[in-house]
Structure 1
């Protein structure tokens, strides 16, 4: 129906971080896990995203974040260690809307992601600044903004500590000429 504002679907996502191991990867600082969505996905096809998805009716948002991470990349997380870092609501005017709570979790530098090749078709561990600099990666607005926040820190612990106890206000961009803008 034209002009109808769709109610956002509750969702949860996890920014999975690890401290790089220079002896293994040659990288220093922290790395973030990005997953590539299938080009046939109904929502942000082909985009590089953090693990996440819809919260089921009887599910706590932390449990949903853990479940989605396990389903999408076979990384098991403890819901009690997740720290809320942001909350994004898809702008009015987008055909499929989400109200997504973003959490952050740290894993060991040996952690590997295993994808199923269905919903998720690729994965990478990458420094946040490198992900932002790569023009070949399709990144959606909340992913960009979360990567910008993480890129300010040299370690996973430093970022996580900065978010503990933070007041989380919902962020809802508006569409201007078809692009999300913060006001």
Structure 2
């Protein structure tokens, strides 16, 4: 279904919403998931990309585009220390320059999901994915305790193991999809390079689920750096979706020496881009995104540096955002609480009063 901007809105949604409202559709239980907004200051373009091709094509008229407790306990309001940018000259992507022509502003790493993907195909998103049950296995841990993370994530303190699994999923998926690893040989260090053949073999084994993340960390003698993550938001896929996720969004600085790369088979493009520029592309209908993606981009755009964004994470409200559908004046109204820009009015509604 076309929109005037880049909001992801599958054509089957209206019928599924009607079925849910009529009590004819049973919501599936969402799977827990984690995604990471990798951030950096200054020069970008580590993947050889600049402005997303979709935006350039749209401006040039090329094609059509539819308008995504081993470590000591620490307080979770402690601000993660932003990693320095990798050394060496890099050219900022188009749109990441200030009026004087110098590199400027906070940038976020995004990937475009392949159009063939069953969920959110063609949409821009961040590295992330579902929790693997093996993410609950004990790992060497630095940063806030598992119980502290449980409280921060909105879980019961007794769910410390589940909290670890969510944090592990965030770190694991970032390594699997972007080649970036938030772990180090000690509780105060991070590996400087993950680009060798041996690293790639381990990453592929993780993706294939031939290797658990706990086994990977243990084999390499690494400590998971939970203190480098800040939790930013929590969104739950609407009840009328056949694939549902309860997703925690984290922010983290790109570690010094590490470089992102498109390591995911689920993505066909990657880009470092300033949040405001990505949001502008969405508003013009050039970049397709799911509501959580554009919402987090707009929130990040208010922060001028990685340090500012990481500091803000400590106070972020993690109340889950879940879409609601209701019948109003003969039409279905789909809305996301606190995010009026995503509200949709669907005429010709039938069924019960609410979803």
Query: Structure 1 54/165 Cα, relative in aligned 2: closer, same or farther at 3 Å?
Result: same
The C-alpha deviation readout for 1:97-126, integer Å capped at 9, x for no partner, is 110001100115875321146212110000
Native 8 Å contact 1:12 1:55 kept in 2: yes
**Structure 2 residue aligned with 1:156, among 282, 306, 324?**
306
- d(CA) in 2 for partners of 1:108, 1:3: 45
**1:67 equivalent in structure 2:** 172
- d(CA) in 1 for partners of 2:277, 2:256: 18
Q: Which has the higher strand share?
A: 1
**1:15 equivalent in structure 2:** 37
Q: Does 1:182 align with 2:336?
A: yes
**Structure 2 residue aligned with 1:95, among 228, 239, 242?**
242
- d(CA) in 1 for partners of 2:133, 2:333: 31
**1:133 equivalent in structure 2:** 280
Please report how far the alpha carbon of residue 139 of structure 1 lies from its aligned counterpart in structure 2 after TM superposition.
Answer: 0.9
TM normalised by structure 2 equals 0.48
Native 8 Å contact 2:234 2:318 kept in 1: yes
Q: How many residues align?
A: 183
**Structure 1 residue aligned with 2:233, among 72, 86, 96?**
86
> Equivalent residue of 2:249, what SS?
strand
TM normalised by structure 1 equals 0.90
Native 8 Å contact 1:21 1:109 kept in 2: no
Gaps of 5+ in 2: 1-18, 45-88, 98-102, 136-164, 183-224, 338-355
Please report how far the alpha carbon of residue 160 of structure 1 lies from its aligned counterpart in structure 2 after TM superposition.
Answer: 1.0
Pairwise CA RMSD: 2.3
Structure with bigger gyration radius: 2
- d(CA) in 1 for partners of 2:289, 2:324: 17
Gaps of 5+ in 1: none
Native 8 Å contact 2:176 2:264 kept in 1: no
Native 8 Å contact 2:233 2:316 kept in 1: no
Q: How does 1:14-33 map to 2 (within 5 A)?
A: 14-21=36-43, 24=90, 25=92, 26=97, 27-33=103-109
